Structure 1
């Protein structure tokens, strides 16, 4: 994921995240407390097994050698062995996948307190060192269940200790100081319970808060990643040699003509960008020149910067599609021009119609000299051109949104070529020769049929006209295929005309640019605009054969328009 800080797009979501960060919810608190208790209980049960093994080992020591002999040796031995078997059974269940609940933990701590007191009762009484183990059991109970139950553990342990001490004084003649010792142990039980409950609650609140913040950070990272992946600006992280480490979807599409992650770790920047990177490394203040990665790709502008000032091995590159910027500027100009044209179209068309009609009437007179007829023909031709310019600008100003559908491109192209040949044959009397080439596995495409039909009609009209001017035959090739990633389809329209001069190749899609004296210069611009509306890209390829080859590259069929 790229190291960037992006705010979530929705205020409600931000409020939720900030609320989670400032104070943990009760649900997350309970979930964190439960998980922590289960982990601690496993550690506590391991401790119990160790204590059981130690007590069992001590059974093999001669009780006569001990300072205080056992009062009920058989019962003591049975209690130690039972304690070992109980703890071992619980340990096996935990290893087998048992998820202990709160009731299991509570019951285990209660049994621990009672069993150790039974061992005290059957051994040498409250003066036995086993009494210290009760403090650990009470402390563990308050850590595992920091609630009123923890105080109950302390109270139960204190009552049992006092009972054992009193029983020893009355029946076995123990020192009365044992009752004081039992009372002191009770105070220790309650003190440990209160202190550990406070510490445990603070620790659990801190853990729940940290867990809540961690989830918030993870959620923010996911939001950042989604925003970066959906950005139309390409973002690439490379090393000093131009090897790509990270690239978002826009960068993949602009640099390699594919969508998604296709093993960018083993790839390098295209040659054009490598040259720009070298230029920037020599002088970071100098901005690299715009470049074109592939013939069918748009012109891009790269900007480089260090990803981390302390670690200068990684470089962050921003890839901008200049055609988008140029397109937006042209749209603003043409929108203003369209509003102006819409306002004065009526005023222009009335005198223009009168001029054209008058010229037509004059040309029908029988006594007009030949030079004057040529002048009238010029008047009519330029009147039609002015009217065409007005119509095209009005079309740009009232262009509708695309109604995209998932289309079987091969079948649709077959129908389009058939219908186009029939309509062109009806108009000119001679059918054009259009060769259609379709691969067997052609991806589907999503576009507005009427708008892309308008684009192809414009490209075919231009191609047939220039082919006929160059070769005397109205010939054309329509070719479909798939991009290198296999996800997107494209359509090529190739003619046999004179082609486009090298100095004009970057200007053919600009509005009002034309090399045809009778053209308006808006046809190709309008075609590219319609393609962009359908998230497709129209480009002029650098072909080796004579003529022009225009390519329409469609968006992936899964992308909604």
Structure 2
């Protein structure tokens, strides 16, 4: 999923100051019109030769003006095509030039009664569209003065009909009317365009925000077709279903085929939409997932929206509520339990010092000692759950950290020389972000269990620690493998439940506490299912770019 994009305004990047993209586009269209008009004027010189005494006052000046007008318009068109930086003053100068050149042609030609006077109206109208401000009134005033000026001069110099002055005045009224009407229309269009642009920008930003929210949701979201082909998937769905995450450059991983359990759930839902799909695992090391299906289009139903929830979160919340109540209860009666428990333990110690005990009594005392320690351990573990602090994460080099942990862990053993700890660290491991003290507590628990079960099965204190990288290459994981008897298949889904244990001396909270600590660091503790001897627990860390 990508960061919010910032779009630079075209009026500042592609064009000069004060010229919007729409003004530049309209000016290009207007310049095309000027080129066409100038070509037609030049063509008329050849199609209908003009005589000095009937059509024009100064033929040479008229021809030179038409040719100059065509040349300038063609040069402007070429400049615009080559990326000329258009500014507001260029618009103003172009309109003023058109008004002056048209009146110059009227002066050299047949006067205000000629058809070229209508082209002045077009120039004034174009000016009010391109620059809808007080400059539009200036264009109308300039055109009106020029029309009255050349008409008055023609009446005085050539004794032409004085009625042409009335026609020039009428044209002046038309210029101002066109200016005022088009200014109002242009302002309304500009406001409408600004409102539409603002709404489009707001919609774009809202779409980007929605995309960011969907991509950062912890709930997996998929869009499928009825055949199970993935059309869209957010980052959480990629991570939950395929174990992949977006890279640092925000590139989306390639869409993979839908996992078979989810594909089967889709087929069952298509047969009966009222059935709720059963939880599933996308892979042996992935958490338990729950999928919910709904048609994206209620009428056609061609595309299906899928929500994928991490059931471990729901289970974790239920267990936290249960253990929170248990923790409050234990905290309230801890000293009431410990007082008689301490008395029982002290009495057992005193009895153990008696020389008159037979073998049967000593076995009974051993049971009292063992179960007193077990009860005390249960109380301590539950109290630790209720007092657990918030994770304080830091970016860590997994290889260096795991090497240091092995050295420190050896020093805590009673006989470090008898322990065989194999350390394997893959190359190019990504960093991970976690609380070292909490994850080290998990590792100590896993390593202690591994050494104990390996010794029971093989008589040798042996474990294997391996630091590797996930399939997407973005996250690190650490495996703790023992060489013990392994875990029965029927118990594999229960090993992380609180108070579940197959060891008579255990409390059943060790692995639950370990998973809780991993979840607090956005890591995932899972049991790897393979054919190798013993069992292997894997800690899969979150992407290092994700903040805890």
TM over 0.5: yes
- Give the aligned partner of residue 463 of structure 2: 476
Whether the 8 Å CA contact 1:389–1:520 is kept in 2: the answer is: yes
2:213 to 227, 250, 262: 227
Cα separation, 2, equivalents of 1:143 and 1:103: 15
2:109 equivalent to 1:123: yes
Which of 60, 83, 89 is equivalent to 1:74? 60
Q: 2:478 aligns with which of 471, 491, 494?
A: 491
Partner of 1:175: 161
Alignment match, 2:7? none
C-alpha separation in 2, matches of 1:32 and 1:122: 36
Distance 2:73 2:449 in 1: 89
Contact 1:38–1:99 (CA under 8 A) maintained in structure 2: no
Q: 1:79-478 counterparts in 2 under 5 A? A: 79-260=65-246, 266-424=255-413, 427-428=414-415, 431-478=418-465
- Give 1:32 shift: 9.6
* Superposition deviation, residue 258 in structure 1: 1.0
CA distance in structure 1 between the aligned counterparts of 2:445 and 2:393, rounded to whole angstroms: 20
Contact 2:219 2:307 in 1 (8 A): yes
* Cα deviation code 1:324-350 (max 9, x no counterpart): 110011112212222222222122212
In 2 relative to 1, CA 429–319 (structure 1 residues): closer, same or farther, beyond 3 Å? closer
Q: Distance in 2 between matches of 1:31 and 1:458?
A: 68
* TM-aligned CA distance change 1:264 to 1:557, over 3 Å: closer
Runs of 4 or more, structure 1, over 3 Å off, are 30-33, 61-68, 261-266
Report the CA distance between 1:57 and its aligned residue: 1.8
Contiguous gaps of at least 5 residues in structure 2: 5-15
SS of equivalent residue, structure 2 residue 492: helix
Instruction: Please say if residues 410 and 416 of structure 2, whose CA atoms lie closer than 8 Å, have aligned partners that are also in contact.
Output: no
Q: Deviations over 1:252-279 (max 9, x none)?
A: 1100111028776652210111011111
Distance in 2 (CA, whole Å) between partners of 1:32 and 1:381 is: 87
In structure 2, the CA distance between the partners of 1:277 and 1:132, relative to structure 1 (3 Å rule), is same
- Alignment counterpart, residue 502 of structure 1, candidates 468, 489, 495: 489
**Separation (CA, whole Å) in 1 of partners of 2:513 and 2:314:** 16
> Contact (CA 8 Å) 2:222, 2:230: kept in 1 or not?
yes
Distance in 2, matches of 1:99 and 1:410, equals 57
Summarize the Cα distance change of 1:136–1:436 in structure 2 as closer, same or farther, 3 Å threshold: same
Corresponding residue for 1:4?
A: none
* In structure 2, distance between residues paired with 1:478 and 1:34: 65
SS of aligned partner of 1:506: coil
Counterpart secondary structure, 2:493: helix
Q: Deviations over 1:27-51 (max 9, x none)?
A: xxx9997322221111111111111
Displacement of 1:179 in angstroms is: 1.4
CA contact (8 A) 2:102 2:120 kept: yes
Q: What displacement does 1:197 show?
A: 0.8
Seen in structure 2, the aligned counterparts of structure 1 residues 342 and 66 have a Cα distance that, compared at 3 Å, is farther
1:171 to partner: Cα distance:
2.0
| Mapped partners of 1:32, 1:373: distance in 2 | 99
Alignment partners' CA distance in 2, 1:434 and 1:164:
106
Contact 1:422 1:431 in 2 (8 A): no
Contact 1:33 1:204 in 2 (8 A): no
Distance 2:355 2:53 in 1: 147
- 2: CA distance between counterparts of 1:133 and 1:338? 91
CA distance in 1, matches of 2:150, 2:54: 16
| Separation in 2, partners of 1:67, 1:229 | 81
CA contact (8 A) 2:127 2:139 kept: yes
Contact 2:65 2:101 in 1 (8 A): yes
Structure 1: 5+ residue runs without aligned partners?
Answer: 2-7, 9-29
In 2, the alpha carbon distance for the partners of 1:311 and 1:31 equals 50
